[in-house]
Amino acid sequence: MIRKLFKQMLWPQILSAMTVMLCMVIDSMMIGRFLGVEAMSAYGFSMPVLLVFAALGSLISAGVQVVCGKAVGSGSQKASDACFTASAVLAFFISTVGLLLVLIFVDPLCRLLGAGSAVAGGPVFSMTREYLIGFIVCAPAFIGAQIMIPYIQLAGKRSLLVIAVAAMTLSDVLFDFLNVFVLHWGTFGMGLASSLSYYIAFGIGLGYFLRKNSAFHFNLRSGILKTCLSILKSGIPTVVNQISMVLLTFCLNKLLLAIGTYRAVAAYSVVSSVGNISFSFGTGIGAVALMLSSVFYADEDRGALQELVRTMSIHAIALNIPVAVLVFLFAPQLVGLFLPEDAVTMQLAAEGVRLFALCLVPSALNSAFKNYYQGIGRSKLTQAMCVLQNFALVALYAFVLSRFFGTTGVWLAFVCGETTLLILLSLLVFRRFGRFRIGAEAYAMLPKRFGVSEKDCLECTILSMNDAVAAASRAESFCRTHGTGDAISKKVALCIEEMTSNIIRHGFSADTRPHRIHLRLVIKDRERIIRIRDNCALFDPLRYFELHSCDNEHLGLKTVMGLVKDANYINSLGMNNLMLRL
């Protein structure tokens, strides 16, 4: 079930990451081909600002995945609504303040980025300034779109995510061509084209959340201040990650300018663009790992977390090897899309792209583990990995190797940094276990007392009415072997049989899709906790019970509600999730 869920969530997430990067790549391609190398340098100087806003969006988005993931894992609709409201408020405040600051201080910001001054910088300064002004208009939609992605994934509306990102890509291409061939607004127009495409994607996603049957609801009375702090705290590792990328881009721009010319900076812009789109697979794997690890950690499901580590590692290797081979082989052609008429810059960039391709597999593994550790609450480890991966190791290798190999040394720094981090992580696992181990259990790094032991947990998959009856019988025997009295054991069995048979009777026949129910029964602290997940159409039994509590029908559901101490329902990950406590 975990592997299937991972695959279902992965491809929309990869497409989303790829599309965001693709819009930036399209901008850089159009700038390089039609506006020249100086405009490409201006785009490179603007990149740290773009990364700062990406960091702010990622801060909230990652916090949402952790906080809302835990709400989903615990089955709390109230907590998930509070998270939705708090993140919307945060996004509006941060994007508005950021937009005003860039517009007010755009000139000193361009000087700080290294674009020179209005006099000394010449066209590069003015082009940098114009691109920033055009792009910054999209700050609310840029951040808002990043935050919508985890909610759309958690709601199971993956087709909507595909539609939104496809619309963003197509509109960005259309507006870029319109700017280059009709309006002739230069770098300002390129930045504005990106802005408009983000607003289109944001508007498509917003339509779902305005519906009455949305999985998440905006409610200002849900105590948003505390939730805002939780989101920011949970997202700190991600913002450390993004800030590290900003610092690395800034430092490498300075280093390349010192050992080469503005052509080396333009080449680095191309390497970054190709590298970002190539790494969309690693980004997608990491995002799904973060979301699912938060859900399973809150559910205290040790086995699911270990299976998640195994699944994400396999995908990181299997998907990125062919991508790395293709990027390495076709590096000159990829670079030619950006800089077709500058032979010197093309040669620099082609070498950089080829050497960058070598780091894709270790980088995908590092990102997957980094996001997984963030989801299970290992914040310090995640932050250390963020700094090492996206700044410290690469910057150190670039500084040292550039002394011997020039710009080639800068490109080599990426693969050296990623490989070193993977080795350091393996050494940490070795230190934790006292021996060298390669496996999901070791790299999951879960506390020894985390979750419930296998003997205290019963799990099974239900596909038919016979399976439902058998599962209820197994649950009754399971409870009795754990010292539960006959009365409580029979109540547990009755709850399971009533709820699962009801799902089969009404949910399985609603459409022609293959359906399944996953049952998990846990005995912990004298409580019997029943978790029932199914992939049928949305159905909230608790809401249904409230609406029909006074009639003489639905006796099975009423019996179950009368037996349980507590019941929670939430629809997430495209599944109905019901939690019953006896």
364 in Cβ contact with 320 (< 8 Å): yes
Coil, strand or helix at 141? helix
Residue 64 in tokens: 């949402």
| Residues 186-207, mean pLDDT to the nearest whole number | 89
d(CA 157, CA 553): 33
For every residue of 338-352, DSSP letters joined together read T-TT-HHHHHHHHHH
State yes or no: pLDDT of 557 exceeds 60.
yes
Residue 45 in tokens: 């100087």
**Across 120-124, 186-190, 295-299, least confident range:** 120-124
Grade residue 336 by pLDDT with cuts at 50, 70 and 90.
Answer: confident
Strand partners, 531: 520, 579
d(CA 356, CA 367): 16
Name which of 62, 8, 55, 90 is nearest 291 in CA terms.
62
344 or 472, which is more confident: 472
9 in Cβ contact with 291 (< 8 Å): yes
| Residues 81-110, mean pLDDT to the nearest whole number | 91
Residue 450 in tokens: 């985390």
CATH of 454-581, one of 3.40.50.150, 3.30.565.10, 3.40.50.620, 2.40.50.140: 3.30.565.10
User: Which uninterrupted H or E stretch holds 578?
Assistant: strand 575-581
Grade residue 93 by pLDDT with cuts at 50, 70 and 90.
Answer: very high
Confidence at residue 362, expressed as pLDDT on a 0 to 100 scale: 95
247 in Cβ contact with 393 (< 8 Å): no
According to the 3-state scheme, what is the secondary structure of 512-523?
CCCCCEEEEEEE
d(CA 511, CA 517): 15
The CB density around residue 561, as the number of other CB atoms within 10 Å, is 17
d(CA 178, CA 173): 9
State yes or no: pLDDT of 187 exceeds 80.
yes
Summarize pLDDT for 390-434 with one digit per residue, the tens.
Answer: 999 999 999 999 999 988 999 999 999 999 999 999 999 888 776
Residue-averaged pLDDT of the chain: 85
Question: Burial level of 423, CB count in 10 A (0-12/13-18/19+)?
Answer: exposed
Grade residue 195 by pLDDT with cuts at 50, 70 and 90.
Answer: confident
Domain with CATH 3.30.565.10 in the chain: 454-581
Grade residue 322 by pLDDT with cuts at 50, 70 and 90.
Answer: very high
Q: How many CA atoms lie within 13 A of 381 on its CB side?
A: 21
Residues of 341-358 as b/e, b for ≥16 C-beta within 10 angstroms? ebeebbebbbbbbbbbbb
Q: What percent of the chain is modeled with pLDDT above 70?
A: 94
CA distances from 273 to 34, 108, 303, 334, 356 (A): 17, 26, 38, 10, 11
Helices (H), 457-563: 465-481, 486-506, 541-547, 555-563
